[in-house]
A and B are shown apart, each in its own frame.
Chain A
Amino acid sequence: MANQGPKSQTILVVGGGIAGVTAAVEAAETGYDVIMLERGPALGGRVAQLNRYFPKLCHPTCGLEINFQRIRKLKNLRVVTMASVSEVKGEKGDYTVSVSVAPRYVNANCTACGACAEATDMEVDSPFNYGLSKTKAAYLPHEHAFPMRYVVAPSAIGTPEADKIKAACKYDAVDLEDKGESFDVNCGAVIWATGWEPYDPEKLESYNYNLSADIISNVQMERLANHDGPTAGRIVRPSNGEPVKKVAMIQCAGSRDHNHLPYCSRICCLGSLKHAVYVREQYEDAEVDIYYIDLRAHDKLEAFYQRVAADPQVNFVKSKPASIRIDEEGRPVLCGENTITRELYEAPYDLVVLATGMKPAASEGYVPNIAMEQDEYGFLVPSIEGDGGIIPAGVAAGPLDVSMSVQSATAAALKAIQAVGPKS
C-alpha cells in the first residue's frame, strides 16, 4: 500500500442541527478545517424549535448560544446556509462534494434591522412555528438565528412586494437577482447529520388532524409553549384562543405501527411528560390525560416520569385511541378502549397533542448516492464495504434525544479525524 497521506484533510459536515454543529465545532477546535452546510437559513435545526429540554427543563437557546459563540471564535470553521449536497464522488481522503446553494435574496450586508419586514404586508406560513402562525414574507428565521440575517420567501419574488422589501433596506442587503450558486468542495471525510422530519400527522387518517385546529402535533406543542411562538408562550386552544382545561396526549401516534413508522422514536414519551408539565405550570386546574401503549422512560429518565406521575392531575390511560371525532361544540373527542378497565370511552378534550415520531430526513431523499446504506426505516448505517470516510451522526443514524445526539456527533467528529489522519 502506498504510504501517502490524504489529499484533503478538510472535514465536511452536512446538516447544521445540534448534531452537525457539535461535530463541526468539536472537529474544528482540534485544528482541522471544517465546512458545515445547512439546508435552512439558520443553524440549530429542530433543537432551536424546542421550548425546553427534558428532564431538566432548561432552555435549548442557552446551549445553542454557547455553540454559536464557539463557531464565531473558530477561523477554520466555515458555515454555509441554504446549502444542500447534490453529489458525492471519490473516496476517503479525497471526496469531491457538489454543493448547491438556494437563493436567500439577502446578502451579508444585512444588519437584521427589520425594516424589510415592516415594509411588506405579504405573509407566509411560518416554517419555524410549524405553520401555527404566519410570518412576513421577509423574515428573520427566529430570534436567536445564526447567522443573524433575514430571508425573503421565494413566493414573494417577482411580486411588487419584493420591490417594497428591497426599497425598505438602507444597507443594500436585499438582492432580488440572487440565483443561488453551486460549487464543489474537496474534503477528506464527510459527517452526515441530516437529522429528521416530524412524521406527518395528516397520514394518521382516523385522528382527523385536519378537522380541528385543536389537534396539534408534539412539535407544534413545543412552539405553542415557547415565548417566541405563535401565542407568546400561552398554551391555549388554537381554534379560539381560550384557556385549556382538559388536554390529551396520544403516544405512539404513527409510531410502532406497521402502517406508519414501525419503530419507537424514543423521545415522544418523555416529550409528552414534559408537555404535561408545560400545561400544569400554566393552569392550576387543568387535567392532562396521557394515552399510551407503554411508557418508555428509560434509564435515568425514569425519575422524570415519576415526578410527573406524582401530579394527581396527570392521568395515564393505557390505550391507543382508535379515532378522534369532532363533537357539536367543535371539540375533539377521543374514542377507544381503556385496556385496564376494559371499557369503551368517548372523551372530549380542549386540546389533543399527537406524539408523532421522528422520520429520518434521509428517507426524504436528502442523501445523494454515496457510500452509505440506509436501514429498512431510512436511517443511515455506515456501509460495510465503505472506507469509513462518510460518517452518519445524530438522528440521521437513528432516533435519539438531544444529549444522545451530541454524544453521537462527538463520536462522529473523532471518527472523521481518524479518517483524515494526523494534522499535517
Chain B
Amino acid sequence: MTIAPPEQAARKYDLGFARWVRGNVVNGEKMSLCMQCGMCSGSCPIGTEMDHGPRKLFMMIRAGMKDEVFNSTTIWNCTSCYNCTVRCPRGIPVTSIIQDLAAKAVEMGYAKDAQNARFAKAFWWSAVKFGRTDERLVTTKYYYSGGLVDFFKKGLGNLKIAMGMVKTKRMHIGMPHKIKDTKGLRAILAKAAEIDARESKGGAQ
C-alpha cells in the first residue's frame, strides 16, 4: 500500500479553521463526530467529479486547509442526493454542511469564478425577482457572468436546444412568468435573512 504524497510541498494551514467551521457553518459542530470511515465518499454518485470526497474534505478542515476547502469543486459539485447523509454511521448531516460551506465560500470571497457559484447566483436572482425560475433569463445571466466570449460560445452552442424547447413549449418567449405575490415572497425572504443574521450573531447553531 503506497501513501500518496501531498500535492504541494508548501501549504498554508489555518489552525483555527476547524473551530471556525464548528461555530459558523450550519451543523458544523456535528463534523466532530466524523470517524473517517469513508462511507460518504464511497457512496457519492459523483465522487469521481470532485477534487476530494466528503471524508477527505472533513479531514482537510481538521488539518486547517482553509483555502483548499473553499476552492474545492466538492462544495459546488454536490448534487444534494443525500446518500452520504442517509448512510453516515455517525448521523452527520454531511450534505447540509457541504451546502453551507459553499455559501460561506461565496461570503468570504472565494469561488468568484466557480461556474456553479455563478449559476447559483443567476438562479437566486430569478427566484427572488419573479418567485420562479425563468430558464431563458437564468441561462442568459449565467452565460454572461462568464464574460462576453463565454456568453456567445455557450449561448450559440445551446441555441438549437433552446429553439427546440421553445417549439415544444418547454421555454416561452415574452414577459417572464411571475408569482402573484412577489411582495409577500420578498417579505418572507427578508424575515428569513433577519433570523439568519440574528442566529449567526448569537452563535446559536
* A interface residues (Cβ-Cβ under 8 A, vs B): 206, 252, 256-260, 293, 318-323, 335-342, 344
Which partner residue on chain A sits nearest B59 by CB separation? A339
Q: Are A339 and B43 in contact (CB under 8 A)?
A: no
Q: Are A342 and B56 in contact (CB under 8 A)?
A: yes
Q: Are A344 and B55 in contact (CB under 8 A)?
A: no
How many contacts between A and B, using CB within 8 angstroms? 68
Which partner residue on chain A sits nearest B43 by CB separation? A322
Which partner residue on chain A sits nearest B41 by CB separation? A337
Per-residue interface assignment for chain B, residues 14 to 39, with 1 indicating a CB less than 8 Å from any chain A CB and 0 otherwise: 00000000000000000000011111
- A252 to B38, alpha carbons, bound, how many Å? 13
- A321 to B55, alpha carbons, bound, how many Å? 13
Q: Which of B75-116 contact A (CB under 8 A)?
A: 86-91
Which partner residue on chain B sits nearest A294 by CB separation? B35
Contact status of A339 and B55, CB under 8 A, knowing A293-B35, A322-B43, A344-B41: yes
Which partner residue on chain A sits nearest B90 by CB separation? A258
- A320 to B37, alpha carbons, bound, how many Å? 5
16 extra A-B contacts, CB within 8 A, seeds A258-B91, A323-B42: A206-B43, A252-B37, A257-B89, A259-B87, A293-B36, A319-B37, A322-B38, A322-B42, A322-B87, A335-B42, A337-B53, A339-B55, A340-B1, A341-B3, A342-B4, A344-B53
| Neighbour of A344 across the interface among B2, B4, B47, B88, CB < 8 A | B47
| Neighbour of B38 across the interface among A257, A258, A259, A320, CB < 8 A | A320
Q: Are B37 and A293 in contact (CB under 8 A)?
A: yes
Contact status of A206 and B87, CB under 8 A, knowing A337-B55, A339-B36, A341-B4: yes
- A252 to B47, alpha carbons, bound, how many Å? 23
Kindly provide the distance from the CB of B41 to the nearest chain A CB, expressed in whole angstroms. 4
Contacts of B39 in A (CB 8 A): 320, 322, 336
- A322 to B35, alpha carbons, bound, how many Å? 15
For this complex, 20 residue pairs linking A to B, each with C-beta atoms less than 8 Å apart, are: A206-B87, A258-B90, A260-B89, A319-B38, A319-B42, A320-B39, A322-B38, A322-B39, A322-B41, A323-B43, A336-B38, A336-B41, A337-B42, A337-B47, A337-B55, A338-B38, A341-B1, A342-B4, A344-B42, A344-B47
B48 at the interface (CB under 8 A from A): yes
Q: For chain B, give the interface size range.
A: 20 to 34
Contacts of B36 in A (CB 8 A): 293, 339
Contacts of A322 in B (CB 8 A): 38-43, 87
Contacts of A260 in B (CB 8 A): 89
Kindly provide the distance from the CB of B141 to the nearest chain A CB, expressed in whole angstroms. 35
Contacts of B37 in A (CB 8 A): 252, 293, 319-320, 339
- A342 to B87, alpha carbons, bound, how many Å? 19
Instruction: Pick the 7 closest A-B CB pairs, nearest first.
Output: A322-B42, A336-B42, A257-B89, A320-B37, A337-B41, A337-B38, A322-B43
- A16 to B127, alpha carbons, bound, how many Å? 67
- A341 to B3, alpha carbons, bound, how many Å? 5
Contacts of A318 in B (CB 8 A): 38
Contacts of B38 in A (CB 8 A): 318-320, 322, 336-339
Q: Kindly name the residue among B36, B42, B56, B91 whose own CB sees the greatest number of chain A CB atoms within 10 A.
A: B42
Contacts of B3 in A (CB 8 A): 340-341
Q: Kindly name the residue among A293, A318, A342 whose own CB sees the greatest number of chain B CB atoms within 10 A.
A: A342
Contacts of B47 in A (CB 8 A): 337, 344
Kindly provide the distance from the CB of B195 to the nearest chain A CB, expressed in whole angstroms. 29
Contacts of A342 in B (CB 8 A): 4, 53, 56
Kindly provide the distance from the CB of A401 to the nearest chain B CB, expressed in whole angstroms. 23
Which partner residue on chain B sits nearest A255 by CB separation? B89
- A336 to B53, alpha carbons, bound, how many Å? 11
Contacts of B88 in A (CB 8 A): 258
Contact status of A320 and B41, CB under 8 A, knowing A339-B36, A342-B4, A344-B47: no
Contacts of B4 in A (CB 8 A): 341-342
Contacts of A321 in B (CB 8 A): 42
Contacts of B55 in A (CB 8 A): 337, 339
Contacts of A320 in B (CB 8 A): 37-39, 42, 89
Contacts of B91 in A (CB 8 A): 258-259
- A337 to B36, alpha carbons, bound, how many Å? 10
Which partner residue on chain B sits nearest A206 by CB separation? B87
Q: Are A344 and B89 in contact (CB under 8 A)?
A: no
Which partner residue on chain A sits nearest B89 by CB separation? A257
Which partner residue on chain B sits nearest A316 by CB separation? B1
- A257 to B35, alpha carbons, bound, how many Å? 11
- A256 to B2, alpha carbons, bound, how many Å? 28
Contact status of A252 and B41, CB under 8 A, knowing A344-B47, A344-B48: no
- A293 to B35, alpha carbons, bound, how many Å? 8
Q: Kindly name the residue among A336, A337, A339 whose own CB sees the greatest number of chain B CB atoms within 10 A.
A: A337
Kindly provide the distance from the CB of B32 to the nearest chain A CB, expressed in whole angstroms. 15
Q: Kindly name the residue among B39, B56, B86, B91 whose own CB sees the greatest number of chain A CB atoms within 10 A.
A: B39
Contacts of B2 in A (CB 8 A): 341
Which partner residue on chain B sits nearest A346 by CB separation? B42
Q: Are A259 and B53 in contact (CB under 8 A)?
A: no
Kindly provide the distance from the CB of B27 to the nearest chain A CB, expressed in whole angstroms. 15
Which partner residue on chain A sits nearest B35 by CB separation? A293
- A206 to B87, alpha carbons, bound, how many Å? 9
Kindly provide the distance from the CB of A392 to the nearest chain B CB, expressed in whole angstroms. 27
Which partner residue on chain B sits nearest A315 by CB separation? B1
Contact status of A252 and B89, CB under 8 A, knowing A337-B38, A339-B38: yes
Contacts of A337 in B (CB 8 A): 38, 41-42, 47, 53, 55
- A337 to B39, alpha carbons, bound, how many Å? 7
| Neighbour of B89 across the interface among A258, A323, A338, A341, CB < 8 A | A258
Kindly provide the distance from the CB of A6 to the nearest chain B CB, expressed in whole angstroms. 47
- A341 to B159, alpha carbons, bound, how many Å? 44
- A321 to B37, alpha carbons, bound, how many Å? 9
